[in-house]
Structures are given as C-alpha cells and as structure tokens.
Amino acid sequence: MARSLRPSPTRKIPKMNIGQASKASGVSAKMIRYYEQTGLIARADRTASGYRDYSEADVHVLRFIRRARDLGFSVTDIAELLGLWRDDTRQSVEVKRLAQGHIEELKHKITALQDMTQTLTSLVEACQGDHRPHCPIIERLETDDVDEDLSLEPRRGAVASGSPGAANPRRQAAKQN
C-alpha cells in the first residue's frame, strides 16, 4: 500500500522468487529454505500469495554464504562471518583468527587423508592384482601384530591421522556406551 505517486526511493527494487534467487546466488532453493529455517538468514519477505521474495541484497548475502561454503567453512563459522561482515566495528584480527582456525582444521584433515593414501598406495603397489587370492592389502587388514593395543596410548608413528576429535571424528578407542 501507499506506493502511488512519486518515484519514491523504494521505486525500482526488482524482487525475485526463490528459484531466481537460487540461480542468481548459486545456492539451491532447498538450502535457502534451510538457512532461513535454522536462522542463518532472516525470514524472507513474502508476496501476497505466500511466495518468498528476495531482493538483490538478499542475493548478495546468499552469495557470501556460498563462497564461504566453497572455502569449507561450516554453517556455524558462516554465522560468525556474517556477523563480522555486518559489524562496522569489527577488528580484522577476529576474521583472521576464524580463518586461521579453519585452515588448521583443513590441514588436519589433509594430513589424515594423506596418511591413508600413503598407506593404501604402498599396499596397492605390493599387491600383484592378479587372479590369485594372496593379497597384502587383505593381509594388512587382518593381521594383529603391532596394532594390537592401540586402543589406548598416544600412538606410535601415525602423524596426525589420529588427532583425536577435530580432523577425523572417527574411532577414538572404544569408550563404549
């Protein structure tokens, strides 16, 4: 209502529905709704018929989010990044700290994956890969030598592969129930 005369400041703001916002931002419609639902982004305006209605500014936010996701930031991190983005009084050191933390996480993951790759590669190289059953890969998996106790202890050789928690949130020595 009250949008008649004069090309008011709210004149030429072309809005769009979720599909167009999705195309324009590179974020799927599903994910846009999800981000709204979880509070990462504000509830969208609605048209009279209930369709979500996005402005260029909204799309700008969505693109920000997508780029952050592309860099591997978690949604939690992104919430923080958005806050910093909007905060005129932010200190760049805060952003830097966040990014550095993320880099550390990434490096842990990389190291873990590289360890796996290295082990697997040497096993694959040792495997004849023929019609016979003998296979060093299987052997490695079934053999109980060194391994044995690794349920406790800080470990022997594995560099960061087993860095507990962060990197590879898998197996951490049977805490049971």
Partner DNA sequence: TTGCGGCTTCCAACGATGGGAAGGTCAATA
Partner DNA sequence: TATTGACCTTCCCATCGTTGGAAGCCGCAA
Task: Return residues touching DNA (CB under 7 A).
Answer: 17-20, 22, 28-31, 33-34, 44, 47-52, 69, 74-76, 169-172, 175-177
Q: Which long-range contacts (CB under 8 A, 24 or more apart) does 45-50 make?
A: 45/15, 47/17
In the complex, minimum distance from the CB of residue 99 to DNA, in angstroms, rounded to a whole number:
16
Q: Which amino acid is at 15?
A: K
In the complex, minimum distance from the CB of residue 146 to DNA, in angstroms, rounded to a whole number:
21
| Alpha-carbon distances of 165 from 1, 55, 168, 169, rounded to whole Å | 55, 40, 6, 5
Separation of first and last alpha carbons in the chain: 60
11 versus 170: smaller Cβ distance to DNA: 170
Q: Residue 63 touches which of a copy of itself, DNA, none (CB < 5 to 8 A by kind)?
A: a copy of itself
Q: Residue 155 touches which of DNA, a copy of itself, none (CB < 5 to 8 A by kind)?
A: none
